[in-house]
Structure 1
Amino acid sequence: MDILLISNEDTCRSRIAQELLHAFGRGMNISTAGIMEGNCVPDAVCNVMEQNGFSVSRKKPSGVGTYTHRSWDYVITLCKEAGEELKFITLDAKQQVHFNFEDPFKNRFQNESEQEQQIAALYETMYRRLYEFYRDELSGQLLPHCTCGANTYCRCE
């Protein structure tokens, strides 16, 4: 299953979502992009993800234009801005899903600790919402299905 995650700059929300979805299950080829290309993944995001057992990729953020030539099973926007901009971008997607996760960098912080707390709160919110989405929408499509009619636990496929 091919999934494209789109956020503002491909530096925070898309990277968190990618790691979470990979952790929830197998069988997903997940790419990330931003409406605009960000510069790099902030250290605060990497720190929060490492505290939760993930190693966030330091690959350079990419713009959504990089992925317009591919077809996707799901295109998932992760913020209001990405949802609005997607109307003007042509993507071949079987399904489009929108989440409106807050930007943890929209406020100025006194220190890095406050910023990490904001990102940690975002992580928790994203974990809950994306797990519900995975459980209700994706997992059934990823698991093997019985085609012989033996029972629901058959793995004939």
Structure 2
Amino acid sequence: MSILLVSNNDMCRSRMAQKILSSFGHGIRIFTSGVLPGRVIPSSVVGVMEQNGYDCSRKKASDVDIYCHQPWDYVITLCEEAKEVEGDFNKEVKNWKHFSFDDPFQHVYGDETELEYRISELYETMYCELYEFYRDELSEQLLPRCTCGANTYCRCE
């Protein structure tokens, strides 16, 4: 299964979502991109992700345009700005899923501690909503199937 995560700049929400979804199960290839890609993942995001047990890559942000002509099982937008790219994709996207997670970098904070707190809140919100999405839509598709078509508790033998 291939999934593309799209946010406005591929520096915070998309990277967090990639690590969270990857932790739920195997068999998913997850890519990230941004409508207006940024430069690097901010250290505050890396810190919050490390506190939650993830090694957050510092790879360069990707522009969504390089993924528009590839087939996808899911394209998941993570903010309102990213919804606008739906028309740029060809018809090879099987499923669209839209989330609207707040961008913690759109606000001005008194200090770095407040920013990290907001990123931690975002992480918790994303974890809960992405887990529900995984449980309700993805897990069934990723389970191995018996020859009879059953996923669990097969008694064919």
Q: Same fold (TM over 0.5)?
A: yes
Number of equivalenced pairs: 155
2:112 is matched with: 112
Residue type of the partner of 2:20?
L
Q: Find the aligned partners of 2:151 and 2:128 in 1 and give their Cα distance.
A: 31
Residue type of the partner of 1:135?
R
The DSSP-based 3-state class of the residue aligned with 1:53 is coil
Q: What TM-score, normalized to structure 2?
A: 0.93
The Cα of 1:148 is off from its aligned counterpart by 2.9
1:28 is matched with: 28
The Cα of 1:45 is off from its aligned counterpart by 0.3
Contact 2:145 2:151 in 1 (8 A): no
Percent of residue pairs bearing the same amino acid type: 58
Structure 2: unaligned runs, 5 residues or longer: none
Q: What TM-score, normalized to structure 1?
A: 0.93
Residue type of the partner of 1:80?
E
Q: Find the aligned partners of 1:28 and 1:113 in 2 and give their Cα distance.
A: 34
**CA distance change for structure 1 residues 150 and 109 in 2, over 3 Å: closer, same or farther?**
closer
1:122 is matched with: 122
2:66 is matched with: 66
Structure 1: unaligned runs, 5 residues or longer: none
The Cα of 1:55 is off from its aligned counterpart by 0.7
**CA distance change for structure 1 residues 23 and 155 in 2, over 3 Å: closer, same or farther?**
farther
Residue type of the partner of 1:45?
V
The Cα of 1:66 is off from its aligned counterpart by 1.3
Contact 2:33 2:61 in 1 (8 A): yes
1:88 is matched with: 87
1:50 is matched with: 50
**CA distance change for structure 1 residues 152 and 89 in 2, over 3 Å: closer, same or farther?**
same
The Cα of 1:89 is off from its aligned counterpart by 1.3
Q: Find the aligned partners of 1:21 and 1:77 in 2 and give their Cα distance.
A: 14
**CA distance change for structure 1 residues 4 and 155 in 2, over 3 Å: closer, same or farther?**
farther
**CA distance change for structure 1 residues 148 and 104 in 2, over 3 Å: closer, same or farther?**
same
Contact 1:76 1:96 in 2 (8 A): yes
Residue type of the partner of 1:56?
C
RMSD: 1.7
